[in-house]
Amino acid sequence: MPPPRTPLDVNFVRTVVVVYASCGLLFGALMLLEWHWIDRSIAAVARERGAALFSLIETTRQWNARHGGVYVPVTEDAKPNPYLKHPQRDITTTDGRALTMVNPAYMTRQIAQIAERTEGIQLHITSLDPIRAENGPDPWEAEALARFDRGEPEVLALVDGGGAPVHRYMAPLVVVSACLQCHGVQGYKVGDIRGGISVNMPAQALVEMRNSQRWRTGLLHLAAFLLSAGLIHGLLLVQRRHMRVVSDINATQERLIARRTQELAEANQQLAGEVEQHRRSARQLADSEARYRAIFEGAAEGIMVTDAHARITQVNPAFCDITGYAADEVIGRSPALMASGRHDAAFFDDMLARLAHEGTWQGEIWNRRKSGDLYVQWMSVARIGDAGDPQGFVATLTDITQRKKAEEEIRYRADHDPLTGLPNRALFDDRLALALAGAHRRGQQFALLFVDLDYFKGVNDRFGHLAGDALLVEAGNRLNECVRESDTVARFGGDEFAVILNEVGGAAETEEVASRIAAAIARPFVFPEGEATISASIGVVLAPQDGSDAETLQRRADLALYAVKHGGRGRHRFYGAELGS
């Protein structure tokens, strides 16, 4: 039969279950958030692509409308439009060539045919009240047109396109003055929504990219879960093993005391058996010591035994592996031989006090190997003997340096942008709170700059997203070069950055930094695909005069940035009362 479970075993099992459940919930939630972000990113790419195609078509249509339609030779592919009611729809040139007028709607249909043949992209101009029956909306387009009437600027959806995924994008067609040449008789007015253009784009590549990113993210979170839960599980195993060793030592001592008491009683009754009893006790003690040595020698953790004067008397092989010292180099010496210098006297005073009163101590402690390298270990110390008459101490040591590094990496990723390595929004909020606290407590002045990269979308469209990512990384480096080490440069996402200038002298000093930033961003960015030039729009506020809390400062910096973006871009502007609050 297996041995009965002790309270220590039951608590251990419960703790392990809680650890794995907590880690599973944490990393599962993080993975779902990451998947949501991936879905939004893929949708944003599809939306930008659809909007770009719509914008191109709409611009071409408006050019046609402003010219009152264009004439093309009558061919098999360009026959007169029977739905165009115009007195000069068909004309003949002086040399006898037959021309027909192509209006915006007819031209859109011609472009749609070319786009479908070359790119697999389907364009469809439609309306709830079409002139041509073929321009009638399908159910999805009808719903999109209804949503335009409710004020939505665009509609995007991922649908099944006959066995392959398709992104459907649609935006409204708004009546401009040039449109009234043909549609004025229908009662349209400038600003009315007369229909829309839907764009059907093959989405297989984007869906595969989304699925690949989800799979990779799932594996990363699974690995993080297994690593974190496994490390904690291992630590709990070490702690349970140590408690069992301490319990066994105490039980052995109690049994030895009871046995020796019995031996003294028997010695008083029968003095003649004292020698034999002594020999028997000696043999038992030798056997016990042999077993004791076989356990501290075979243990995976480092074990160190000291006498009552804190001089090392025994160490096991694992101790030598961890510290780099051979046994004969530490026996008879103080454990201070391995001191790192990172703990003050109060730390060791607390350790000795707890050993004196409670008989045990455990915690993290920095030590130094024989090579001089620093490392962090988990150490558990137990007193041997009574508090009034300690016989020595036994300590178990576990090197947890790698676990600490893993924890630091997790903390770093939580506070920094994964692309540029700059502080993210969360860390930026902490830095802004510290700057505000300094301003309130010591009367310090600081500046907050919101920086947007102008024309960044064009770089993505022209060179691709890899080049766009490289530009964002280089832009972050250039921003850091423009400020001091005590300042903060953060990325909010996309092409949005923020800068905190601590302890500035005033507007002149801040304006100098803003000018340096604008000049740095204006330098050409060189990629393997080619060279790109962008600019930076910068909104600036000074604290505390422009606001005494984080929300006000950020809102006003955004107002200043908005004014720059709508005033020509590529400049900086300080917040002023004329911008509103």
The 10 Å Cβ neighbour count of residue 328 is 8
The H or E element that residue 171 is part of is strand 165-174
Q: Are 502 and 444 in contact (CB under 8 A)?
A: yes
- Set 452, 454, 495, 546: catalytic member: 495
Give the up-direction half-sphere exposure of residue 430: CA atoms within 13 A in the CB hemisphere: 7
| DSSP helix/strand/coil, 442 | helix
Helix (H) or strand (E) holding 541: strand 535-543
- Residue the block writes with tokens 């890899």: 466
- Here the tokens at position 173 are 């067609």
The DSSP code for 423 is B
- DSSP lists the bridge partners of residue 156 as 169
d(CA 573, CA 139): 48
Contact 415, 424 (CB under 8 A): yes
Neighbours of 74 (CB within 10 A): 15
Instruction: Identify the CA nearest to 105 among candidates 74, 137, 147, 61.
Output: 61
For 570-573, the CB contacts below 8 A with 24+ separation are 570/454, 570/518, 570/522, 570/535, 570/536, 570/537, 571/518, 571/537, 571/538, 572/449, 572/511, 572/514, 572/515, 572/517, 572/518, 572/537, 572/538, 572/539, 572/540, 573/538, 573/539, 573/540
Query: CB within 8 A of 102, min separation 6: which ones?
Result: 64, 69, 70, 71, 72, 78, 81, 110
Going 11 to 13 to 15 to 18, the CA torsion angle's sign is: negative
Catalytic status, residue 495: yes
Alpha-carbon torsion, ordered 558, 562, 568, 573, to 10 deg:
-40
Structure tokens at 143: 């719903």
CA distances from 30 to 213, 221, 540 (A): 14, 8, 34
List of E strands, 356-462: 360-368, 374-385, 390-399, 446-454
The per-residue DSSP string of 262-277 comes to HHHHHHHH-GGGHHHH
Contacts 24+ apart (CB under 8 A), 460-463: 460/48, 461/48, 461/52, 462/530, 462/532, 463/527, 463/529, 463/530, 463/532
Q: 468 - beta bridge partners? A: none
Active site residues: 495
